[in-house]
Amino acid sequence: MVRRPLTDYQRYQLAWGIPGNIAAGEDIRVVDITDDDWGLPDQDFWLFDQSTVVHLNFAPDGALRDIELVDNPDLDRYLNWRDTALKNAVSYEKYVRTCRESP
């Protein structure tokens, strides 16, 4: 998930971090929540095996501060957020192309 204007760290990830992950076979999608957040949380998270939730906590400049395992997460809520994000996501390539075409 990103919100414009992008932080320096997000621009770095998009330019340098993500292309290598895609080259290694990862499917990366981007949800831009600038104009509509679709009820998604501000908290970034990973969901493993539909049962384990990890929060990614970021500093104000966008740099990753730490990772936190969530005890007893409300899995239905996280699964709903995941499904909503996937429904509204675009491929990395499309997102980057759109950013370059935007004024």
In tens, the pLDDT along 45-66 reads 999 999 999 999 999 887 899 9
Peptide linkage before 5 cis (omega within 30 of 0) = yes
- Global pTM reads 0.84
Residue 82 contacts by C-beta under 8 Å, 6 or more apart in sequence? 47
Show me where the domains of the chain are located: 8-101
Predicted pLDDT of residue 72: 97
In tens, the pLDDT along 20-46 reads 999 999 999 999 999 999 999 989 999
